[in-house]
Amino acid sequence: MRRIGILTYHRPINDGAVLQACAVLRSLATLFPEDHVEIIDYRSWTMERQALCKAARSTGELWAKVKKFLHVRRFVRNELVLSRDHLLSNSYRRACDFVADRYDVLVTGSDVVWEICDAPAGPTFPNIYWLDQSFQCKKIAFAVSANRTALNELRQDQWKKIEQLASSFSLIGVRDQTTMDLLQRVGLSEGSKVMRVPDPTFVLQPPRLDLDEKLQRHGRRTDQPLVGIAIYDRGIRRAFVKSWKERGFQVACIVGYDSLADINLHGSFSPFEWTNVFRYLDFCITEYMHPAIFCLKNRTPVLCLDLAECYANTESKTCSLFRDVKMKESYLDFDAIGRDIGLANAAAREVMANWDSERVEQTVQEMAGRVREFLHCVSECVRKEDTSCNPRT
């Protein structure tokens, strides 16, 4: 029996993060039913503190924040298979020692585990998610992302280290174009041992849950269309809430709290319930990738905005997503239109008017098929005796 360990972000107070961790875990457990697959319960103290601080300063009522924390941590406890031992540390060497010699296969990803930045909130580089060269086992990257990494600002010593670490992997699946560009700069091109793979939540099959009664308790009325707003910035969120209410929509805030919204859902649902919320929306405006993905999976019309200034000189993961699914009309660079709410709403109306549910369903199936293709490559890689794997052979 092989021991397969997964290193990913599995404890943020974030539905999308824990769902991607669940998707990776379940995919590999299904692929290797005779082996033991677990998420390595490591996290850096810096990122743990960041998650707690972000939850504490989120807008809205304190009880909603507490409920969100409890929902996510209960999901981690009940739905994820974690290693018996755990480590909370900022030390790279301690993390390496914690992982070393315990596993036959190490899998890193998905999520933005390969992001490199100087921000104090993130892990320093190199870090455990790049899987140290000293690990004597097969190393696989599953839909990893270097999202927000400013490639032109990386130092020469960082590029050298990236080349050393990435070259030691048996198989690399990357989620977005920025990560592919990073690997190409160190001589690893798509088709060698590198391939593009969509986010693993495309193959996650959450339970289909009836939320009618729960949504009605939160104020949902069936006589009005319902739009969901998943935007963190209070000012921008408030502007969308007001404009859609003026158009006769009932408005639900999925991220954050707004007193003008008809429904505030932040903290009200478990992660699996959260995936079902998007089925009840008539439209969604979001800046986040996983709300966009679950809109697509539920065939709910969606407009995804890029709001972060860090994407001025690099392609965001959401831009990459909607280019991959050939639905650029559902993506909007908010800065490119001068952060004009009216123009954003005009784009939203265009998306709603031209939404093709059958086309979206086909696209979702194609993305899921690409994930399964990568999993097939993982299966072949793990079962080979050598440590190199070519996804195209």
Whether 49 is in a domain gets the answer: yes
Q: 142 and 268: one domain?
A: no
- How does 163-187 read in b/e, with b if 16+ C-beta sit within 10 Å? eebbeebbbbbbbbbbbbebbeebe
Cα dihedral angle (270, 272, 276, 277), rounded to 10 degrees?
Answer: 20
Rounded to whole angstroms, the Cα distance separating 359 from 301 reads 12
Which pLDDT score is estimated for 393? Answer: 39
Q: 261 and 135: one domain?
A: no
- The CA–CA distances, whole Å, from 27 to 190, 216, 348 equal 23, 34, 34
Whether 62 is in a domain gets the answer: yes
pLDDT at 24 over 70: yes
Q: pLDDT (tens digit, 9 = 90+) per residue, 9-21?
A: 999 889 999 999 9
Phi, psi of 37 (to 5 degrees): -115, 130
Mean pLDDT of 203-225: 96
The answer to whether 19 and 275 have CB atoms below 8 angstroms apart is yes
Rounded to whole angstroms, the Cα distance separating 33 from 166 reads 28
Q: What mean pLDDT, rounded, does the chain reach?
A: 92
Which pLDDT score is estimated for 85? Answer: 97
pLDDT at 392 over 50: no
Whether 244 is in a domain gets the answer: yes
223: domain CATH number is: 3.40.50.12580
The residues, any chain, with a CB within 8 Å of residue 1's CB and separated by 6 or more, are 34, 35, 36
- For the ranges 62-76, 175-189, 240-254, 335-349, which has the lowest average pLDDT? 62-76
Secondary structure (DSSP) of 117-176:
---TTSPPSS-GGG--TT--SEEEEEEE--TT--GGG--HHHHHHHHHHHHT-SEEEESS
Q: 41 and 179: one domain?
A: yes
Number of domains within the chain: 2
Q: 307 and 370: one domain?
A: no
Whether 391 is in a domain gets the answer: no
Q: 233 and 297: one domain?
A: yes
Whether 389 is in a domain gets the answer: no
Q: 370 and 343: one domain?
A: no
75: domain CATH number is: 3.40.50
Helix (H) or strand (E) holding 343: helix 341-353
Residue 277's domain comprises: 212-362
Q: pLDDT (tens digit, 9 = 90+) per residue, 318-375?
A: 999 999 999 999 999 998 899 999 999 999 999 999 999 999 999 999 999 999 999 9
Quote the pTM value: 0.94
Whether 162 is in a domain gets the answer: yes
Whether 168 is in a domain gets the answer: yes
Q: 116 and 178: one domain?
A: yes
Whether 390 is in a domain gets the answer: no
Q: 127 and 236: one domain?
A: no
Q: 253 and 317: one domain?
A: yes
pLDDT at 96 over 50: yes
Q: Retrieve residue 328's tokens.
A: 């650029």
Q: 161 and 288: one domain?
A: no
Q: 249 and 187: one domain?
A: no
Q: 372 and 272: one domain?
A: no
pLDDT at 391 over 70: no
Instruction: Identify the band that residue 386 occupies on the pLDDT scale cut at 50, 70 and 90.
Output: low
